[in-house]
């Protein structure tokens, strides 16, 4: 994972990876922890990317191709989406009650996409996560891997608009 | 102290009206073959674990509501098995036709033409045409490996390559991704074969592949003959050690 930390959200990246590590530990870092671990990744990152699959494969001693096979077999899991930029809106309890839905609605209105979709020009993918472990900063949104806290429809719009300007 | 060894018992059963005997740890397929009764198979290969995926080996067992795959069904005392009624043969033809329709099997330009198990089975079962519309998917060809080529257009997803790579070579470079029509054999995290760090380049997958999906580079049409004698041999040697 090659992203820097978002301003005001120091250590959030660690928090997510720690949740993943915790799940693996709970199952003794054994191969049978695979599905649970992928669930944790899906819920805390909003999708499963290659680096994390590699990490899990190594930690649990599960072959790479097996990890990929399982991650693509279940409809519950999403691999890194097609879009050039990804926006993951946390819809965990804390974020939900502080306005995650308004944020999703706003993006939907501006770019005509629902969570799980990518704009037709492949510029933006919208996803949701269950909890980033950043509840203190709710509502939290991850822009291209960088966690940003205390978001609202306007601030999210502003960040995404800058992507489209380039 | 003597270690109690699980003793397999001899079972008597009837296959196609013929009384035969087999051990309780043998499958219907094994006992049938020992008695020269032909049952077509595709995903089964001596020396690999049973997968039960292709369903070509289906047979009828008296008293059971459904046809069962003979490669994964153990024999039982008093079983009455039918291996080639008209119904069963029709089902098998249907299964094979679907395999042809699902990818692009243009035998005339295939490296395995004349040595292909799919082609052989179609001939053997008397398939002259395929009733289902062909899907003609655009599948990639991976030619990134120095010595091997993977042409997904010819793959029937029998899983032999996956099993030999895991069970015999111990590399588990290959697996199957997705489900249903999106399923595909992959290398590692869907990487190019040539960039794999887990593949030892042993070539076992190439030689167990029943079709031209996996082949050696430099072979032209009809030149790819597979060698599989190593498999039962390796299995026996490993069980000993
Ligand atoms: S060449 Fe050997 S190690 Fe490589 S994918 Fe095939 S069976 Fe596995
Ligand atoms: S590549 Fe060959 S051995 Fe592997 S699943 Fe496809 S047809 Fe079977
Ligand atoms: S609920 Fe959104 S970070 Fe925990
Ligand atoms: S050979 Fe029995 S299911 Fe394929």
Say if A67 is an interface residue toward chain B (CB within 8 Å).
yes
Query: pLDDT (tens digit, 9 = 90+) per residue, B42-54?
Result: 999 999 999 999 9
User: Which band of pLDDT confidence, cut at 50, 70 and 90, is reported for residue A137?
Assistant: very high
Domain residue ranges of chain A, discontinuous segments joined by +: 3-73, 85-165
Q: Which of B82, B101, B130 is the last residue of a domain?
A: B82
Residue B34 structure tokens: 């020992």
Q: How much is the average pLDDT of A82-107?
A: 95
HEC-encoded secondary structure of chain A: CCCCCCCCCCCHHHHHHHHHHHHHHHCCCCHHHHHHHHHHHHHHHCCECHHHHHHHHHHHCCCHHHHHHHHHHCCCCCECCCCCEEEEEECCHHHHHHHHHHHHHHHHHHHCCCCCCECCCCCEEEEEECCCCCHHHCCCEEECCEEECCCCHHHHHHHHHHHHHC
Query: What pLDDT is attached to residue A7?
Result: 41
Say if B172 is an interface residue toward chain A (CB within 8 Å).
yes
Query: What pLDDT is attached to residue B1?
Result: 47
Q: What is the pTM of this model?
A: 0.87
Residue A1 has pLDDT above 60, yes or no: no
Say whether both B67 and B165 belong to one domain: no
**Cα Dmax for chain B:** 64
Using an 8 Å CB-CB cutoff, list chain A residues near B174: 65
Residue B144 has pLDDT above 80, yes or no: yes
CATH of the domain at B226: 3.30.70.20
Cis (ω within 30 of 0) for the bond into B38?
Answer: no
| Pocket mutation for ligand 3, best pick of A132, A136, A148, A151 (most atoms within 8 Å of C-beta) | A132
> What is the average pLDDT value for chain B, to the nearest integer?
93
What range defines the domain where residue B202 resides?
Answer: 89-240
Q: How much is the average pLDDT of A21-42?
A: 97
Q: Which of B82, B97, B126 is the last residue of a domain?
A: B82
How does DSSP assign B70-105, residue by residue?
TTS-B--TT-EEES--HHHHHHHHHHHHHHHHHTT-
Q: Which atom of ligand 1 is nearest to the CA of B161?
A: 7
Q: How much is the average pLDDT of A115-125?
A: 94
Say whether both B112 and B231 belong to one domain: yes
Query: What pLDDT is attached to residue A81?
Result: 86
A90 in ligand 3 pocket by Cβ < 6 Å? yes
Residue A68 structure tokens: 């990929």
Say whether both B95 and B78 belong to one domain: no
CATH of the domain at B21: 3.10.20.740
How many independent structural domains does chain B possess? 2
Q: How far lies B79's CA from each of B66, B72, B121, in Å?
A: 15, 15, 27
Superfamily of domain covering A85-165: Glutaredoxin (3.40.30.10)
Residue B145 has pLDDT above 80, yes or no: yes
∠ Cα A127 A132 A138 (to 5°):
95
A158 CB neighbour count, 10 Å cutoff? 11
On whether residue B31 sits in a domain, the answer given is yes
Residue B95 has pLDDT above 90, yes or no: yes
Query: pLDDT (tens digit, 9 = 90+) per residue, B173-217?
Result: 999 999 988 899 999 999 999 999 999 999 999 999 999 999 999
Say whether both B95 and B134 belong to one domain: yes
Say whether both B103 and B206 belong to one domain: yes
Say whether both B207 and B121 belong to one domain: yes
CB-closest option in A50, A53, A66 to B175: A66
Q: How much is the average pLDDT of A121-144?
A: 94
Q: How much is the average pLDDT of B56-81?
A: 97
Residue B181 structure tokens: 């029509």
Residue A23 has pLDDT above 50, yes or no: yes
Q: Which atom of ligand 4 is nearest to the CA of B40?
A: 1
Query: pLDDT (tens digit, 9 = 90+) per residue, B97-106?
Result: 999 999 999 8
Say whether both B71 and B138 belong to one domain: no
On whether residue B1 sits in a domain, the answer given is no
User: Which band of pLDDT confidence, cut at 50, 70 and 90, is reported for residue A4?
Assistant: very low
CB contact under 8 A, B175 and A53: no
Say whether both B107 and B193 belong to one domain: yes
Query: What pLDDT is attached to residue B5?
Result: 58
Q: How much is the average pLDDT of B4-13?
A: 79
Using an 8 Å CB-CB cutoff, list chain B residues near A53: 189
On whether residue B103 sits in a domain, the answer given is yes
CB A155 within 8 A of CB A149: no
On whether residue B207 sits in a domain, the answer given is yes
Name which residue sits closest to atom 6 of ligand 1, judged by CA: B205
On whether residue B2 sits in a domain, the answer given is no
Q: How much is the average pLDDT of B108-132?
A: 92
User: Which band of pLDDT confidence, cut at 50, 70 and 90, is reported for residue A12?
Assistant: low
Surface of B (182-221) touching A: CB under 8 A = 182, 186-190, 198
Closest CA to A109 of A126, A92, A85: A126
Q: Which of B61, B82, B103 is the last residue of a domain?
A: B82
Say whether both B235 and B173 belong to one domain: yes
Query: pLDDT (tens digit, 9 = 90+) per residue, A52-63?
Result: 999 999 999 999
């Amino acid at each position: 994972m090659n992203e820097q930390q978002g301003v005001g959200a120091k250590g959030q990246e660690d928090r997510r990876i720690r949740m993943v590590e915790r799940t693996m530990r709970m199952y003794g870092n054994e191969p049978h922890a695979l599905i649970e671990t992928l669930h944790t990744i899906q819920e805390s990152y909003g999708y499963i990317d290659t680096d994390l699959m590699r990490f899990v494969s190594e930690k649990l001693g599960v072959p790479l191709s097996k990890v990929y096979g399982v991650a693509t077999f279940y409809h519950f899991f999403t691999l890194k989406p097609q879009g050039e930029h990804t926006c993951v809106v946390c819809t965990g309890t804390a974020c939900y009650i502080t306005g995650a839905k308004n944020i999703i609605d706003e993006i939907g209105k501006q770019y005509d996409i629902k969570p799980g979709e990518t704009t037709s020009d492949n510029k933006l993918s919208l996803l949701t996560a269950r909890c980033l472990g950043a509840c203190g900063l709710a509502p939290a949104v991850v822009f291209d891997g960088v966690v940003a806290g205390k978001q609202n429809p306007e601030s999210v719009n502003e960040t995404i608009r800058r992507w489209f300007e380039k | 102290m003597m270690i109690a060894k699980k003793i397999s018992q001899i079972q008597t059963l009837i296959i196609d009206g013929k009384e035969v005997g087999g051990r309780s740890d043998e499958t219907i397929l094994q006992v049938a073959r020992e008695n020269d009764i032909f049952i077509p198979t595709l995903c089964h290969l001596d020396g690999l674990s049973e997968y039960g995926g292709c369903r070509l080996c289906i047979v009828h067992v008296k008293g059971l509501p459904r046809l069962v795959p003979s490669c994964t069904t153990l024999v039982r005392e008093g079983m009455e098995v039918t291996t080639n009624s008209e119904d069963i043969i029709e089902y098998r033809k249907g299964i094979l036709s679907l395999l042809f329709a699902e990818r692009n099997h243009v035998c005339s330009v295939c490296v395995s033409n004349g040595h292909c198990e799919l082609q052989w089975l179609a001939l053997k079962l008397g398939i002259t045409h395929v009733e289902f519309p062909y899907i003609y998917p655009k599948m990639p060809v991976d030619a990134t490996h120095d010595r091997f080529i993977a042409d997904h257009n010819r793959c029937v997803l029998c899983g032999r390559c996956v099993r030999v790579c895991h069970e015999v070579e111990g590399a588990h470079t290959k697996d199957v991704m997705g489900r249903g029509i999106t399923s595909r054999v992959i290398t590692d995290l869907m990487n190019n074969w040539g960039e794999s760090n887990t593949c030892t380049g042993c070539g076992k997958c190439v030689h167990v592949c029943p079709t031209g999906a996996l082949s050696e580079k430099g072979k032209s049409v009809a030149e790819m003959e597979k060698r599989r004698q190593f498999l039962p041999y390796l299995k026996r040697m490993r069980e000993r050690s």
